[in-house]
């Protein structure tokens, strides 16, 4: 009986996860691109979609955790993968395209113990970290909305609901629906930026989370209707691929 009950429990978890992923896909698909909307594909064919200087960021055909040193990446030549160079520490990378409201798909991989981050509009970070095995994730774990920083220290971080992280060296994904801050005709902010939904490896980890301003280590300390996507490159080895931004207008 115990085995039967456990089987039904696991089946329920699988069905629940599938339903969540389908709901996110339907929500994104329901917002058809209009005349002013576009797809920005940053899938690592070259560096043309990224602002200079590029530092040591480079395009390769494959990246994997180095079997000789699990804290580093090994790469193979080709196209399709973006990584932050042989040292694993270089400048941050900003897209030439700017986005306001966006539906984003981003795939990433870190070796053991490494750290990066994806900053929407160069201001609001979803954390990238080797958080494999963490039982109670914090805002600083993978999938967390990173904290802000002020005279009294850090505040307003948002941990993921659950730890959806895969083991270091495995490719992972974020699917994010981001709503940009709103401003009146005089440039005064009237609504905060909001992560409508963040899905990490098929698991919903955030819904309708507001951020009152740029998070820690953002490129920009101000807030504007649009800004570039930023990949953090100075915290450790990281690789990205299949980065696609769907520029939309959310209600």
- The fraction of the chain above a pLDDT of 70, given in percent, is 86
What would the pLDDT profile of 24-37 be if each residue is shown by its tens digit?
444 444 444 454 67
Please give the pLDDT value at position 36: 63
Round to whole Å and give the CA distance between 94 and 164. 26
Segment 172-179 mean pLDDT: 98
- pTM for the model stands at 0.86
What would the pLDDT profile of 2-25 be if each residue is shown by its tens digit?
444 444 434 444 334 334 444 444
Segment 101-114 mean pLDDT: 98
Round to whole Å and give the CA distance between 121 and 172. 21
Round to whole Å and give the CA distance between 72 and 130. 12
Q: Which of 101, 83, 109 is nearest to 40 (CA)?
A: 101
CATH code reported for the domain at 36-247? 2.60.120.560
Please give the pLDDT value at position 18: 37
Burial class (CB in 10 A: 0-12, 13-18, 19+), 108: buried
Per DSSP, what are the bridge partners of residue 182?
Answer: 191
Say yes or no to pLDDT of 237 above 80: yes
The distance between the two most distant Cα atoms of the chain, rounded to a whole number of Å, is: 67
Segment 224-232 mean pLDDT: 98
Q: Which of 192, 35, 167 is nearest to 109 (CA)?
A: 167
In Å, what is the CA distance from 222 to each residue of 121, 132, 189?
Answer: 11, 33, 11
What would the pLDDT profile of 67-81 be if each residue is shown by its tens digit?
999 999 999 999 999
Query: In what helix (H) or strand (E) does residue 145 lie, and over which residues does it extend?
Result: none
**18 or 112: which leads in pLDDT:** 112
Please give the pLDDT value at position 240: 98
Please give the pLDDT value at position 8: 40
Mean pLDDT, the chain, rounded, equals 89
44-48, 102-106, 170-174: least confidently modelled range: 44-48
| HSE of 249, CA atoms in CB hemisphere, 13 A | 5
């Amino acid at each position: 009986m115990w085995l039967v009950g456990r089987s039904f429990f696991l089946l329920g978890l699988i069905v629940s996860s599938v339903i969540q992923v389908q709901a996110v896909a339907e929500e994104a698909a329901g917002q058809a691109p209009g005349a002013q909307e576009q797809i920005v594909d940053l899938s690592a064919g070259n560096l043309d979609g990224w602002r200079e200087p590029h530092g040591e960021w480079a395009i390769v055909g494959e990246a994997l955790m180095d079997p000789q040193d699990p804290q580093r990446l090994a790469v193979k030549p080709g196209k399709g993968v973006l990584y932050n160079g042989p040292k694993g520490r270089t400048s941050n990378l900003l897209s030439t395209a700017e986005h306001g409201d966006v539906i984003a798909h981003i795939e990433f991989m870190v070796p053991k113990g490494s750290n990066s981050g994806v900053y929407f509009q160069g201001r609001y970070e979803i954390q990238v970290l080797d958080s494999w095995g963490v039982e109670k994730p914090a805002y600083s774990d993978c999938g967390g909305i990173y904290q802000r920083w002020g005279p009294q220290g850090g505040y307003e971080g948002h941990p993921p609901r659950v730890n959806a992280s895969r083991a270091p060296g495995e490719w992972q994904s974020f699917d994010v629906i981001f709503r940009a801050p709103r401003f009146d005709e005089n440039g005064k902010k009237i609504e905060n930026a909001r992560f409508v939904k963040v899905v990490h490896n098929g698991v919903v980890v955030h819904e309708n989370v507001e951020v009152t301003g740029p998070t820690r280590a953002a490129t920009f300390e101000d807030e504007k209707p649009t800004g570039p996507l930023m990949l953090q490159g100075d915290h450790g080895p990281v690789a990205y691929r299949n980065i696609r931004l769907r520029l939309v207008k959310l209600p």
